[in-house]
Amino acid sequence: MATPQSRKNAPEFTRLVVDDYGGNMPAKNDLHVPQQKRIERMPSVLARVQLSESELRRRIHKGTFPKPLKLGPRAIGFLSSEVDAWLDSLTSGGAA
């Protein structure tokens, strides 16, 4: 069971959280939200770019596709932003 002292402090803490995050937040259009870096694993990238794994690996080796990040001994991933840029380069006339 809570002691009277801990009950007395609980509303104070709750009020501070509401005041700090609810009352002093800037308007949505004033917020600058940095783009999060997302890592996609190989199956997700293959589905997005519609290439076979062997073709994708050839393009990585030739330097025409972004290099993967090593996530572990048997796992690689790609930065979503780099895959997006590669896809954009295809539609803007760049060689793939």
Chain centre to alpha carbon of residue 49: 18
Does a structural domain hold residue 46? yes
Kindly indicate the confidence band of residue 92, based on its pLDDT and cuts at 50, 70 and 90: confident
Q: What's the number of domains the chain is made of?
A: 1
Residue 91 has a pLDDT of 87
Residue 33 lies inside a defined structural domain of this protein: no
Nearest one of 56, 24, 23, 27 to 40, comparing CA atoms: 56
Q: Please report whether residue 68 resides in a domain.
A: yes
pLDDT in tens, 7-39: 554 444 433 333 344 444 444 454 554 567 899
- Domain span including residue 79: 39-91
CA-to-CA distance for 76 and 41, rounded, in angstroms?
A: 6
> Tokens representing 74?
């048997």
| 26 is a domain residue | no
- End-to-end Cα spacing for the chain: 67
**Domain assignment of residue 17, yes or no:** no
pTM: 0.59
Distance CA(57)–CA(40), nearest Å, equals 15
69-72/75-79 β-pairing:
antiparallel
- Domain membership flag for residue 79: yes
